[in-house]
Every structure is written in C-alpha cells, then in structure tokens.
Amino acid sequence: MNTATEPIHLMNNYARWPISLVKGQGNQVWDDQGKQYLDFTSGIAVTSLGHVPPKVTAKLHQQLDTLWHCSNLFHIPQQAVLSEKLSKLSGLDSAFFCNSGAEANEALIKIARRYAQKVKGTGRFEIITFSQSFHGRTLATLTATGQDKVKDGFAPLPTGFVTVPYNDLAAVEAAITDNTCGIMLELVQGEGGVHPAEEAWVQGLRKLCDEHGLLLLVDEIQTGIGRTGTWFAFQQYGVKPDAISLAKGLGSGFPIGAIVATSEVAQAFAPGTHGTTFGGNPLAMTAGIATLETMEEEHILERVGQIEKQLLAGLHKLQADHPTKVVAVRGKGLLVGVELAIPSADVISFAREQSVILLSAGPNVLRLLPSFITTQAEIDQVISVIDKALTQ
C-alpha cells in the first residue's frame, strides 16, 4: 500500500515529499513501492555511518535484550562510558544527556543562565545569537534562532535573547550589556544557508567572552561528531568553548542529545536543577558509544577528509561548467552548500525523480550531507544528477 499521502489523524505540520521510506542500508533507502534512492542527506546529518550501521546495530540488539529504561534515579553505567569518551575527544569535562538537539540547546541556555546567577552571583540572563542561525523549535530555542519564519504565530516569545549579524565582531561588542551571560553560535550555519564562521571572528568572540566574563556556547548539533572533518567544528578555530551541544550524528539515528561543558560551568547543574525521564537511557548510550567506537576503529575522520576532496572536486567542476547557475560552493567537511541562481527546490525535485535525495538550506541553496562511508561512485552519481538538472 502506498502511504505517501498524509494520514488523516496526523497533524499537517510537515511539508512531506510524496515518498514513504521503509528500509535503509548504508547510503541506500527504499520506499514502500520498492524504489531505491541514494540518500545524500544522511537523514539531515544524522546517519553519518550510513543507515543501520552493522556494529551499532549489533550493540543495540544486545542492549535490547538486556535493559531499555530505568530512569536517572539510578546510575546508568553507559553514561559514564560515553561521557568519558566525549570529554576526552572534546577537551571539556562533564556531560548531560537528553533526547534531541532542541533539548540539548535548551540545556545549554539553562546552564548558561544558572551559571551566571547561581555560581557567579550576578543577575545576568541574556544570550547573544546570530541572524540566520537555527537552534531548535522549543520556545526558547526558536527565540534564540535568528530566522523570523520559525517564530511566526508563537508570540509572546521568551525574553533574554539578542540577535546580531553573523561574522560581525563590532555588532557583538555593541550588543554586550550588564545583562549578557553568553554568546551562542553555530560554526557552520546549516539551516541558514551553509555559512561557515570566519576564524578571526570566532577568536574575537572568545576574547570578548574572556574580557566580559561571558560563556562561549557552541551549537554543534549538526557540525559535531566528525561532520566538518574534526570531532567538533570548534577544533578548527583555535578556541575552546565553555560548553557545546550535540545530537544528530552522535547516535547513528537513535535519538540522543547532549551538552558537554567545562567543570567550572558544570557546577551550575546541581541535583534537582535540570533533568529528563528518558535522557541518557541505556539504549541511547549504547548507540552513542558504538558510534564513537566505530568511528575510532575505522579511522572515519580520515575518510571524511577524502570524501570532502572528492565531493568538492566534482562541485567545482559543476561550477565551471555552469557559471551562470552555480553561484558559490561553501562549507566544511561533509556539510556543503551549493548556492544557485535558480530555486534549489527545482533541482531537489529533479534529483528525487532520478532516485537521489538532496536537501535545501534556503530557497537557492542545496545542502549536501553525505555519509562518512560515501563512495566515489555515489559522488559521481550525485554530480551527474545535479549536472543534468542544471542543464535542463
């Protein structure tokens, strides 16, 4: 049965494509009609090791037969393992686990405010964020988001956020007041058009935070866990944040979120100050541990660098072949944006007809998010499809 139409008992809050996916393996997915597609989105930067990665799957099957849930009233041994791994990889000290990226950014906002008020003893509460950013869809995180379209119809929004232009240090400095407690940013704006931060600007933000006693909060929901070619995007900027948020690629598709902070900032979360029923459950922790172990054992970060070179070579040739239609190619690692002079939706629709799934990052930007196991043949397939779309 084709289930590509919206079921009558589901709220209509997604502009879904006319496809029902029922199976995935590696970089391939199948719909309920048996049609096969190349997924060049990784489930929006989630299935970085491909769909149903074998080692993660095996560990999850083992955990499914052992224990699913016990709540955070008890010690969960897998939390200790995963938090230690994230600490060693990031250079930060303590983790808190939740279920999603929006929850992770909520925790980031809460810990910043509580650190300012309860650890430092100030009344500070405002966080500076940036235009075209995207931090989630809870009330606090959509307020932090620098895009008006996600805020429409949800007034009144929480106070405590100031939005300024991206890559503009003077604007940030002018926005700092006695109420400011932190600066929150993505180092590559994914939803906002795939715009990387400038290195000098990020280092300037770190300096401003140090001078004014503010926290530097990095949203690594989409950029973290190898997506930009290093474990975390901040490692390419010569700075150390005070706290980061994680989700997407951390669990290979299993729902998981986290924040990792310095021990100084982590003081703000004392018993009873923040929590979650499902966050950090044994299944999610197992998925996170297995994902990181697989990436380490298989030297995945080296593969990310190789795939990036192959992909950029193909895209720059496309730009040379279609100079009036391909405006720019930008990004980091395997988070790549292709700015077009035509609507990205037209290319995405054509690609879908050719059995390739692509994403947009705004009305004129293709967002390419291949998995870390992508082959040269799959890159060639995608480049060929985009070439045909631009030619037509």
pLDDT, residue 309, reads: 98
Strand pairing report for 180-185 and 188-189: unpaired
Which residues fall within 8 angstroms of residue 325, CB to CB, at 6 or more apart?
A: 340, 341, 342, 390
Which residues fall within 8 angstroms of residue 71, CB to CB, at 6 or more apart?
A: 277
Q: What percent of the chain has pLDDT over 70?
A: 99
Residue 119 DSSP symbol: I
Report d(CA 270, CA 344) in Å as an integer: 47
Which residues fall within 8 angstroms of residue 194, CB to CB, at 6 or more apart?
A: 188, 330, 331, 335, 336, 337, 361, 365, 367
Report d(CA 56, CA 116) in Å as an integer: 39
- For helices 282-297 and 300-321, what crossing angle results, to 10°? 80
Mean pLDDT of 330-334: 97
pLDDT, residue 1, reads: 41
Domains of the chain: 21-53+300-391 (3.90.1150.10), 67-297 (3.40.640.10)
Report d(CA 61, CA 78) in Å as an integer: 15
pLDDT in tens, 232-278: 999 999 999 999 999 999 999 999 999 999 999 999 999 999 999 99
pLDDT, residue 3, reads: 53
Report d(CA 215, CA 205) in Å as an integer: 10
Mean pLDDT of 346-361: 97
Of 4-18, 109-123, 311-325, 371-385, minimum mean pLDDT range = 4-18
Report d(CA 274, CA 174) in Å as an integer: 32
Which residues fall within 8 angstroms of residue 298, CB to CB, at 6 or more apart?
A: none
Which neighbouring-strand residues pair with 336? 331, 368
- Residue with tokens 């590696």, as numbered in its chain: 26
For 32, the token pair is: 């309920």
Mean pLDDT of 190-196: 93
Report d(CA 137, CA 141) in Å as an integer: 6
Q: How confident is the model at residue 141 (pLDDT cuts 50, 70, 90)?
A: very high
Task: Please check the confidence at residue 4 and state whether its pLDDT lies above 90.
Answer: no
Instruction: Return the number of other C-beta atoms located less than 10 Å from residue 292's C-beta.
Output: 23
pLDDT in tens, 12-56: 988 899 999 999 999 999 999 999 999 999 999 999 999 999 999
User: What average pLDDT does the structure give for the chain?
Assistant: 96
Distance of CA 166 to the CA centre of its chain: 18
> Model pTM?
0.96
* CB 56 within 8 Å of CB 291: yes
Report d(CA 392, CA 389) in Å as an integer: 5
Report d(CA 262, CA 180) in Å as an integer: 19
30: enclosing H helix or E strand: strand 28-31
